[in-house]
Amino acid sequence: MELLLSFRCRPFPLAFGSVSSLIIISFLSCSVFGAKRIPRNETDRLTLLEFKASLSYPLGVLRSWNTIIHYCQWYGVTCGPRHRRVTVLDLQSQNLGGIISPSIGNLTFLRVLNLQNNSFHSRIPPEVGHLYRLRVLHLNNNSLDGPIPPSLSRCFNLVILHVNKMNELFTVGIANNHLGGQQVGGLNFLCTLTNSTKLESLQFKLNNFEGNIPECISNMSTTLMTFSSGENMISGGLPGTIGNLINLELFFVEGNNISGNIPSEIGNLARLKQLYLGRNEFSEEIPHTMGNLSKLIHLSLRSNSLQGAIPSSLSKCQSLLLLDLAGNKLSGAIPPEIMEISSLSIYADFSSNNLTGKLPMEVGNLKNLGALLLQDTRISGEIPSSLGSCIMMENLYMQDNLFEGLIPSTLSNLKGIQELNLSNNMLSGKISKFLEGLNLTSLGLALNEFEGAIPIGGVFRNTVVAVKVLNLMRYGAAKSFISECEALRNIRHRNLVKVITACSGTDSQGNDFKALIYEFMVNGILDGWLHLVVETIEMEEEAPRQLNLLQRLNIAIDVASALDYLHNQCNVPIVHCDLKPSNVLLDDEMTAHEGDFGLVRFMPEATKESVVDPSSSISVKGSFGYIAPEYGAGGDVSTHGDVYSYGILVLEMFTGKRRTDEMFTDGLNLHLFANAALPEQISQVIDSFLLQECRGMESSSNNIRSRRHRNKFQKIQECLVSIIRQGVVCSSECPQDRMNVADVAATLRVIQKELLQAVNQ
């Protein structure tokens, strides 16, 4: 016995570095109220010092284990109030390393030993078997290895009595070590626990246990509520006697190598809340008895080899929050009954199975569901519009299936949706504009049969999303599509839309499909800026968008630069063949990029000014109104054809008239219309918006400076005449009369300079 100071309050958790600071803090924060004799057990004191001596440095909190303080005040030590024997040793998460000293076996009053989340290595000393009062043993998250000492069964025998009497939880927590090994019979230690009639929690995940789950598991106490043996190397089947563990609430064996069927006796586990059988080799069918598990909240059977149909009885699991059947060989349709599990909220994952049939329209009952994963199955038919009732949905993965028809507009109700992937289906129609209104962080639409323009707002404006321009059947005949795309991938110009990738394949009906994936352009197509678009009913009314004179000129120069690059600066001259305002895309700075190389032709050097391939010239369709007249007459593909289209494009940009305007009848066309106005009547043909812009400049002039401003207006008009003239010459009937686009680009740059000077006068 010795005299020691005693403290009114409990010592601090001593997360301090040194002894001296520790003591000072203890004294400062606690009032010393007197001295008292405290009994001391020399065995416990020496045992703890031996335990400390077997640790590797740094000692951390164990610095407090010194002779100045009574061992019952040492960090992590709790003693019985009277006998002052150590009853609890709790040193979890203290960064301790070294071995667990065999002397631990001398702490015979120990009830709780918690060494979890440290770096103890080597084996569990067999002397732990001496701790016959032990009730709680946490050794998880260390680097222990070797077998579970069989002596543990001795200590458990005695503990049972104690636990029984104290009515306390008995936990064996030895997870996340390297325990196990076949040499000691793998999981047979489980059988040593069968006398532990109060065992409630058995956790040994993340070890290296091999071998079968022994039959004796059935003799484990029916008090067992937690069985967690995930991430080991357990093999063999799951014994049907598992059904005896009627109080089981969590059964977690993910990440082992368990095979055979899921025993139907599993349906007896009426209190089961979480069942994780994923990543094993379970095969055969999911037992119908699972429908008995009415308390089940998590069910994961993912990544097994389960076959057959999804049992409709699962619909009786009305507490399920999470259903994961992904990565099996399940077949047949998803039973509509499954969609009655309205509790489902976390996620439902059916992906990567061999499912067929339609997505049941009852899916709309899953009003709480946060994520639905259906990718990579063979589900077909239309996407049910009821899906729009799943208003809590955040992630919807439907890619790699056989969905067809339109994207239902009801999906616009999914206000919380973040990720939507519909790639690689057979969806058709327009890409619905409502998608703009969803707050998506990711959208996959590639490899469908969509047509028409891509919406330009919302997600389509987004740092991260690559909008995919999709396969179009009209390319069907292009033989060397992929090699052309490969070539396009290698051509780079600031005024060409960057082709990110190209895809080709065969759809379920045996049709070839081909898709180009372009860089996304925020401001959409030039066509939409030139002509007020009132296209579809679902499109909300948009304010007319207008480009000013300088913007139009810049765009004309951008397009000419791109053509110049294609025609004159690539290894092989490239003819675009489909130049028109809807193939010119505008980025966030209104810089123009030429896109859609679907009809592009490569011209071998030798035939630079003439045909590529005699057979290809007849397949050139181009677009009505922009295609050069000689193509219509069976003429050869050449760069002159592009220049014609370019001329029409320029005229369209500056006159604001479509090539197809109803005024162009009886032999009148855009070319003749513009040509006739040169040069005096120019204001008769210029887009009225541009005229207003010019007149604005004129009327803003006051009397004093009117002369200068008249000059300015005249200069601007001269520029307009020059621009229109470029358009007229480029769209000449006869190919030889057209200019080389390099000269056009150069001329337009000169005009640009003059215009800037005039405007800034």
Ligand X SMILES: *[C@@H]1O[C@H](CO)[C@@H](O)[C@H](O)[C@H]1NC(C)=O
Contact footprint for ligand X (CB under 6 A)? 43, 46-47, 50, 93, 95, 103, 105-106, 116-117, 127, 140-141, 153, 157, 176, 192, 194-195, 215-216, 219, 233, 235, 257, 259, 267, 281, 288-289, 291-292, 313, 329, 331, 354, 356, 399-400, 418, 421, 423-424, 439, 441-444
Report in angstroms how near the CB of residue 540 gets to ligand X at its nearest: 17
**Residue 404 beta carbon to ligand X: minimum distance, rounded to whole angstroms:** 17
**Closer CB to ligand X, 313 or 616, in the complex:** 313
Contacts of 561 (CB under 8 A, 6+ apart): 493, 494, 495, 745
We find the least distance from the C-beta atom of residue 256 to ligand X, in angstroms, to be: 9
Q: Does residue 439 contact residue 485 with C-beta atoms inside 8 Å?
A: no
In the complex, minimum distance from the CB of residue 707 to ligand X, in angstroms, rounded to a whole number: 55
Q: Tokens at residue 240, please?
A: 């049907």
| Least distance to ligand X, CB of residue 577, Å | 30
Residue 637 structure tokens: 């593909």
Nearer to ligand X, 418 or 551 (CB): 418
Minimum CB–partner distance for residue 656 and ligand X (Å): 36
Residue in the shown chain whose Cβ atom is closest to ligand X = 444
Closer of 302 and 659 to ligand X (Cβ): 302
Cα distance between residue 387 and residue 320, in whole Å: 19
Separation CA 277–CA 503 (nearest Å): 38
Nearer to ligand X, 234 or 677 (CB): 234
Shortest Cβ 157–ligand X spacing (Å): 5
Q: How far is the CB of 325 from ligand X (least distance, A)?
A: 14
| Comparison of 243 and 635: residue with beta carbon closer to ligand X | 243
User: Which residue in this structure is represented by tokens 């054809």?
Assistant: 641
| Of 448 and 732, CB closest to ligand X | 448
Question: Token digits for 252?
Answer: 């977690």
Whole-angstrom distance, CA of residue 519 vs CA of residue 493? 13
Burial of 185 (0-12, 13-18, 19+ CB in 10 A): middle
Task: Give me the DSSP letters along 289-325.
Answer: GGGG-TT--EEE--SSEEESBPPGGGGG-TT-SEEE-
Answer whether the bond into residue 679 is a cis peptide, omega within 30°. yes
Alpha-carbon distance of 507 to 426, in angstroms, equals: 8
Nearer to ligand X, 441 or 701 (CB): 441
DSSP sequence for 707-761: HHHHHHHHHHHHHHHHHHHHHHHHT-SSGGGSPPHHHHHHHHHHHHHHHHHHHT-
- For residue 99, the minimal CB distance to ligand X (Å) is 15
Cα angle 650, 652, 653; round to 5 = 65
Residue partners of 378: CB distance under 8 A and separation at least 6 = 354, 355, 356, 401, 402
Shorter beta-carbon distance to ligand X: residue 443 or 488: 443
CB 715 within 8 A of CB 754: yes
CA distance 466 to 444: 8
Contact 416, 394 (CB under 8 A): yes
Phi-psi region for residue 622, left (φ > 0), alpha (ψ -120 to 50) or beta?
Answer: left
The least CB distance from residue 102 to ligand X, in Å, is 6
Least gap, CB of 237 to ligand X (angstroms): 9
Residues 339, 318 contacting (CB under 8 angstroms): no
Q: How far is the CB of 692 from ligand X (least distance, A)?
A: 37
Nearer to ligand X, 237 or 635 (CB): 237
Contact 163, 137 (CB under 8 A): no
Q: Which is nearer to ligand X, 375 or 717 (CB)?
A: 375
Cβ proximity to ligand X: between 176 and 554 the closer is: 176
Which residues touch 583 (CB under 8 Å, ≥6 apart)?
Answer: 525, 594, 595, 596
